[in-house]
Structure 1
Amino acid sequence: MKNKTGDRVSEKEIQKASDVHLLDYLQTKGEGLIQQGKYFRHAEHDSLVIRNDGKWFWNSRGEGGHGPISFARAFYNLSFQDAVRDVNQLSIDKTLTDDLKKASEQGFIYPKQYEADTQKHVRRYLVQERKIDPRLVDSLIKNGYLAEDQRKNCVFKWRDSKGDIVGADRQGTIRTSNGTFKQIAADSKEDGGFRVDVGTPNQIALFESPIDAISYYELFQLQNIRLQSMSGLKDRTANTAIKELIQECHARDERVEKVIFAVDNDEAGKGFAQRWKSLLTQADIHVPIHKDWNVDLQKRKEQQKKKEPVYEMER
């Protein structure tokens, strides 16, 4: 958008844009956000932090402000007038900040009302883009671990030992120039995460994301294992998850056979896994060949496709 000489916006337009919460604006724009406590970090620019009160700080640039107008000017390089118009032209329904307010008042309550009637975008994204077996995706949906919300995001539900939903990861299915939307639902259990039990678990594998967890399962098909996402590298989540499995195994007069750290193949992941291995006698480290387990899964399927025979039509 380019301004003409004398371009103006009215006070009413400015006020309307100013009343929009920055988090709602960014979610509607499709920006990837990762929630960390009471603030959000941009998925592609980790020094860009947005607080629940609408203030933002871009630490690497030494910039900051409040609300969507100042953010749009800095992030999208818009003039003041075009920033106001960009905010006002969107249909914003305050889904994100409504969730934050409700959750902060009542503890975590899963927003069932925001689930969509279809799972087609989730299926397309996970099966076609992430190359996960459609039978696995359908099983997660059927058993209440995966859903689609009204913004076409994947919702990975965190269930505890009782089956109660104690949190959720939201993963965007639509790519923008800044990646895909990512968020941990407000007031999710601090030491919780997405987890799925295969059989009766006597071992546990820890991952950085739900998609890595289910990709790992498809790659190795291990039995009697708990697949646990930490939604990052979180000592508290790892500690709680391991302790819970120890207690469950003890109640069955069994012991935990193995703790597998299957985090990303980067310096942060390697450091996290090595530190935990030094603390546990039954710990193993399983490193993906590429950056993470989903990339490994995609690469394997690419190789399998290349090996498929090509049949020529008889003439």
Structure 2
Amino acid sequence: MVFNRLTQIWKRLKSQVSHRGATVILCSGTVVLGMGALAWLSNDQSGALKASGPSLLDLLDEVGSEAKRERKNVEPTKQPLPPRAISWSSPLSKQCSGFDSKLKNRLEAQQRTLKDRRVSVATDPTNYGERFRINPWGAALNPDPRVVVLHETVYSLQSAVNTFLTPHPRDADQVSYHTVIGLNGKIVDLVDPHNRAYGAGYSAFLGEWAVTNPKIRGSVNNFALHLSLETPGDGANSRSIHSGYSSAQYDSLALVLTDWINRFGFTPAAITTHRHVDLGGERADPRSFDWDELQTRLAALKILCP
């Protein structure tokens, strides 16, 4: 289309030049708008042409505008449809009474010192990003954290932290959690909850995902909080179970979740697992997770009583 338009412009220019009696010498039959045309523009003949019609610059502006219109008409990558919703029935139930007073007192004491107990580590900027408010097709996205995805490290806490401290220029290698909890209950905050951690790839929760890169399938990362538990030593393998997480881990987990629920206003029913949100069927974490252990602690902290 643009080539045809340039041919038409060349014919019109030849006609105008012939009308004024000017002589144009073609240096190459294959170059239509080359350096010779630009040099010719710089002399006084351009004024003569302008008097009887559009100048070469005018015609080039015209064809440039037409090229832009053609580019706009090229259909962009289509926005993918959201995935089929997979129901989630939370293992956590309403509980307003019946909790252990000793457990309640222990957790409340830990809650008072929670801020001092948390350790912050600066994850490499390649491993996290900002939450998006608009997708690549101009549609609005809600970036508010409203689902928690539970994970496990598989190897040690320090191994996971070292991974997040390492720069990963390639998208496929980038990974992070907002918080990791060690076997001894240590809480390590790695990404600010207001930022987007790269905890889940191809994923969705209740049929919702966010596509933030047209070349990559959607995920929950834009509206999720990711929390990982350090895996016990006998879990550094691909088996479906291991010995489970420590009491100290469940204490810290309940405290961090209570803090997030109070800060962002989502319900305990939005606490789920990587296994559930994963659309590729490749994730199984957190293995051997005991929902009853979390239930008793969240109940004692009065989070499960509306």
Same fold (TM over 0.5): no
Instruction: Please report the TM-score for the alignment, with normalisation by the length of structure 1.
Output: 0.23
Instruction: Please report the TM-score for the alignment, with normalisation by the length of structure 2.
Output: 0.23
- Higher RCO (C-alpha 8 Å, min separation 6): 2
Q: Which has the higher strand share?
A: 1
Higher Cα Rg, which structure: 2
